[in-house]
A and B are shown apart, each in its own frame.
Chain A
Amino acid sequence: MSEQLLQVDDLSVRYHTASGPVAAVSDVSFSIDEGEYFGLVGESGSGKSTAAMAIMGGLASNGEVTSGSISYRGEDITDLSERELREKLRWKEVAWIPQGSMSSLDPMMRLHEQALGVGRRHSDLSDEEIGGKFRDMFEVVALQRERATEYPHQFSGGMQQRALIALALFLEPSLIIADEPTTALDVIMQDQVFKYLDAAREELATSMLLITHDISLVFESCDRMGVMHAGQLAESGSVRDVYDSPRHPYTFLLQGSFPDIRYPERDLEVIEGDPPQLLGDVAECTFADRCPFAVEECRELAPPLEPVEAGEDPDHRVACIRSEEAYDEYQQRRADADEATGREEIDTGSKEAAGTAATEGFDEDAPLFEVRNLEKYFDRNRSLLDSLFDRNDPVQAVDDVSLTLSETDARGVIGESGCGKTTLLKTLVGLESPTGGEILFKGRDVAEFGRTDWKRFRSDVQLIFQDPFNSLDPKFTVEETLREPLAVHSMDDRDRRVREACEQVGLTPPERYLGRLPDQLSGGEKQRVSIARALVVDPDVLLADEPVSMLDVSTQTAVLELLSDLVEELGLAMLYISHDLSTVSYVCNEIDVMYLGRVVESGPTADILADPKHPYSQALINAVPVPDPNADRERTVMEGAPREPIGVGDGCRFRDRCPDAMEVCERTPHTVPVDGTRDVACHLYYDHESETTDGAASDPVADDAGDGTTDHQADEQPAGGGN
């Protein structure tokens, strides 16, 4: 077995704040061996970053290590001075990969100059050697050697993060501390970054301390892990042990709360409440208040971290006094739940109760939304020169998108940031006016709406926003926020409606919440209020824009669970927009995959997840980390980042990143049905000969050509298309 590199013993860190000392880390112990990846998982505020900061000696000025020790290669580094840390440890031995690459690279310096600065200070190498090593490392993370002389802004986000990895690694440190290295990135980029981190690890045999909130990343790429909750280490051990036999209630609830795209139907666990703010001494299990298995004793002392049980790997340790009872209870509960869902089927037909009075002109039987060839182009600020030469490349944010949302549909639109999904949503609700195509709401064209129609539309269609911290008026109490839409739409019976909405979103009893201001609510509660505000006017459609992306994992699950229940119970239709495939797959039964303003594939969730057809969907699904250390996922092979949708012209927009790109991709692909269940816009799936004879090339929507070509598709699917 290899040598021990980092040893953290009973580390406690406090922050001195105006309201007293806050215990950020309490008695945390773990160790990292040479060449080992250690993952530290926890929600925000769990103390995981603080622990890492303490190791690097980078605590904020009000932070203090109150007890415990940190040793590196057997040497105590707890009390090293800033100078000693700099001379002995940083960069040379321990490198740091921070979260935001954009703010960690000096925008005014070329990358190799930044490397020179670091190298001169921390090594005895000559400038040439530093440059050489840095360029070598550039190659390891698959950037071109020559590009080392470029400025950070010349790289895309994912490439910047990789350049940062090169910068952290070129002095060949033994330990990398990576603090949420990919949280700001899209899934595909995240996957690439980890791919190259792995490559670097093979090259250098470094160890890594990976700090993240995403348990699936840890399961996938680490050897050992620790789970933190509110400053305490709940459980630690090898990822396999923790995955196969989690012993701490927080671990198995957290594990159960993660949506797994392999099982979109699975019920998710909800962890109640929020991590506590700990003032003063901690002499209790910090999870006790949220733990469904807690007993009195749990609140009386901080549980010690002890080996699970004799016979098993002594490295698997848990800090829970009831771990066995809790686990049994949990298994029992899950079994019961499985049985229950089997018996009681979804009760439809509750929609009649909500029955809306038909207004003139609205066809209640028509699909709620029917979007045909929708286009939204933005003019860029054109310079005088551009207008002289008649250069006009608008931003084609949404281009030729068609979709239908019927009653009780839950449709997800998924794509990387910048793919136009939010613009699509804004155009749908009329916050932006389309530049082409049409939107039919209940059979009527939105463009012809009059005042009263809009009013009606505004109460039937409700939005849920991404950012719960900003989407509530800070000066309004919950009650005022909920009354506001009722007042706008002159609805009666306000008290009852407000109460009902509160109960529907689980803010019970309503009296406890009605008088509160937004800053007296937690993130999850805010998002619930946001949803209640949408529900209070009894809408037909919910449009949700990344409603959970800014929430912590445990809260995220609760909100997802809620949305999914609402759609079922109230018979609402929902359009759910997100970049996160696993949450979409949990809530939606239909998915549209968007790339650079166009829908490339749409169909039932289960089908798309099981067998994506479009190369982009395949890449996207492959890139999602699977929360299972035993699963062997192939990493996506896809270079580059999406372009800007400016002057993209004809042709498939994915062609420059597509592993299956062909010559014919220079032409815009038509959307054709594939396998009967879904529509795909890709040249791989239709017969081009019949297309030319049909003369469909001039017709942007070739759905009509679909019938004739369906037969060919089965033979046409190349092996490369469905890895």
Chain B
Amino acid sequence: MSASSQDGNGSRTVRDSYVVRNLTSGLRNIFQDRTTAVYFSILLFVIIMGLAGPAIAPHQYDEVQYTDDGDINRLAEPSMEHPLGTTDVGHDVLSRILVGARPTVITGLLGGAMIIGIGMTIGVTAGYVGGTVENVLMRMTDLVYGVPLIPFAIVLVALFSVGFTESIVVIGLILWRGNARVLRSQVLQIRERPFILAAKSTGASTPRIILKHVLPNIASMAILFFAIGVGYTILIQAGLAFLGVSDPFVPSWGIMVRNAFNSGFMDVAWWWSIPPGVLISVTVLSTFMFGRSYETTTGEGSDEAIIQAG
């Protein structure tokens, strides 16, 4: 790498333009395809909710609402004052949804990043280096494949104390397995292509080849896997929250569904359980579909890869 930094301006501008070019062409791809654009805007909307939600929420999420009579406003149907009604302890549902967006977004991003981070490191290393390294890494992956996710997560979370971050980390530590497998097989293919041979024969070092030739060529697939990882983490975290294996005081959407269920009023207070449920579904769906169509528009999609990714 010292080679490139030595020669100042020339290569720097190229490097910059290389990243910029790929980003802009990626964005252009997104907006060319209408469905991709729709999914992208939904995601953008959720992220904005995560950023600004607490600020625009009409009430504190744990502030008990009272009726004019001074009673606690329990299980109020949607009205002008409480557009999404209230819960059985008199919390404003809309506010909880808006505040709950943030932990959901954090869950997704953190989990997705962990999944693709670990998966890509292991997959690319195994695929490119080969030999014993590959054997060790892939047997490790096989081992993780044997772990049943939810029960394992419950045990681990119970062991490390029931916390919001812990539950995400546990998910990330398991779900990278599919990514590692698929990315390894991708790298195996790329490794054999003549342009890698060309780079080798000009004397490029292994890290240089991986960074400049291998990674860019699996980038669109990595983006897809990141998106799928985000979706999965949100979904499973919500599941864990529903099961009670997450911090009940972090007001994520999953916890909301759990509270609604536990209160026993789930069948009555539809305004309480449906919004978080729908939001979880829509978010997960959009991440998945966005990644999928992003990958197909950049042209390196394969159905098999997606099936294996889970």
Contact = CB atoms under 8 A, between A and B. Distances in A.
A675 B124 CA distance: 56
- Most B CB contacts (10 A, CB to CB) among A454, A480, A487, A489 go to A487
Interface in A474-527: 474-475, 477, 479-480, 483-485, 487-490, 492, 494-495
B202 interface: yes
Contact of A470 (B195, B201, B213, B216): B195
Interface stretch (A96-104, A362-370, A459-467, A578-586): A459-467
Contact of A483 (B14, B22, B197, B198): B14
Main secondary structure of the interface of B (DSSP, over half): helix
A473 interface: yes
A302 interface: no
B185 interface: no
Contacts, number: 84
Contacts of B195: 470-474
Interface in A580-600: none
Nearest to B196: A473
A458 interface: yes
A234 interface: no
Interface string B182-203: 0000000000011101111111
30 contacts: A429-B201, A431-B200, A431-B201, A458-B201, A458-B203, A459-B202, A459-B203, A462-B201, A463-B197, A463-B198, A463-B201, A465-B198, A466-B194, A470-B193, A470-B195, A471-B197, A473-B195, A473-B212, A475-B219, A483-B14, A484-B199, A484-B202, A485-B202, A487-B3, A487-B4, A488-B202, A489-B203, A490-B3, A492-B7, A495-B10
Contacts of A462: 201-202
A471 B10 contact: no
A479 B14 contact: yes
A454 B203 CA distance: 8
Contacts of A485: 202-204
Nearest to B217: A475
Nearest to B214: A473
A8 to B, nearest CB: 38
A186 B193 CA distance: 24
A492 B203 CA distance: 17
Nearest to A464: B198
B216 to A, nearest CB: 4
Contacts of B263: none
Nearest to A487: B4
A240 B177 CA distance: 67
- Of B4, B217, B219, chain A has the most CB atoms within 10 Å of the CB of B4
B7 A488 contact: no
Interface residues of B, number: 28
B249 interface: no
Contacts of A490: 3, 6-7
Top 7 closest A-B pairs, CB basis?
A: A458-B203, A471-B194, A485-B202, A475-B216, A490-B3, A465-B194, A473-B195
A644 to B, nearest CB: 22
B198 A488 contact: no
A484 B213 CA distance: 10
A463 B197 CA distance: 9
Given A473-B195, A533-B198, A480 B14 contact: yes
Contacts of A431: 197, 200-201
A303 to B, nearest CB: 39
Contacts of A470: 193-195
Given A465-B197, A473-B213, A475-B216, A488 B204 contact: yes
B160 interface: no
Interface in B12-49: 14, 18, 21-22
Which residue among A454, A466, A488 has the maximum number of chain B CB atoms within 10 Å of its CB?
A: A488
Nearest to A466: B194
B11 interface: yes
Given A484-B204, A489-B3, A489-B203, A475 B197 contact: no
A93 to B, nearest CB: 42
Interface of B: 3-4, 6-7, 10-11, 14, 18, 21-22, 193-195, 197-205, 208, 212-213, 216-217, 219
Contacts of B212: 473, 484
A455 interface: yes
A474 B217 CA distance: 8
B219 to A, nearest CB: 8
B3 to A, nearest CB: 4
Given A461-B201, A484-B199, 11 more contacts: A431-B197, A431-B200, A431-B201, A462-B201, A474-B217, A475-B22, A487-B4, A487-B11, A488-B202, A490-B6, A494-B10
B217 A473 contact: yes
Interface residues of A, number: 35
Interface in A431-454: 431, 454
A488 B3 contact: yes
Contacts of A488: 3, 202-205, 208
Contacts of A530: 198
A551 interface: no
A209 interface: no
Given A431-B197, A470-B193, A470-B195, A483 B11 contact: yes
Nearest to A468: B194
Nearest to B1: A487
A484 B200 CA distance: 11
A318 interface: no
A466 B198 CA distance: 11
Nearest to B219: A475
A24 interface: no
Contacts of B11: 483, 487, 494
Interface string A633-647: 000000000000000
Contacts of A475: 22, 216-217, 219
A494 B201 contact: no
Nearest to B3: A490
A488 B195 CA distance: 15
B196 to A, nearest CB: 8
A92 B203 CA distance: 59
B7 A537 contact: no
Contacts of A494: 7, 10-11
Most B CB within 10 A of own CB, among A459, A483, A484? A484
Contact of B202 (A467, A474, A479, A537): A537
A537 B202 CA distance: 9
A438 B91 CA distance: 83
Contacts of A429: 201
B253 to A, nearest CB: 38
Q: Which of B6, B14, B213 has the most CB of A within 10 A?
A: B14
A467 B10 contact: no
Contacts of A489: 3, 202-203
A479 B4 CA distance: 15
A495 B193 CA distance: 28
A706 B217 CA distance: 55
B7 A455 contact: no
A505 B217 CA distance: 27
A76 B201 CA distance: 59
Nearest to B208: A488
A14 to B, nearest CB: 26
A464 to B, nearest CB: 9
Contacts of B199: 473, 484
B295 to A, nearest CB: 15
Contacts of A480: 14, 18
Interface string A598-641: 00000000000000000000000000000000000000000000
B296 to A, nearest CB: 15
A480 B21 CA distance: 12
B111 to A, nearest CB: 28
Contacts of A473: 195, 199, 212-213, 216-217
Nearest to B10: A494
B95 to A, nearest CB: 46
Contacts of A483: 10-11, 14
A458 to B, nearest CB: 3
Given A474-B217, A475-B22, A487 B198 contact: no
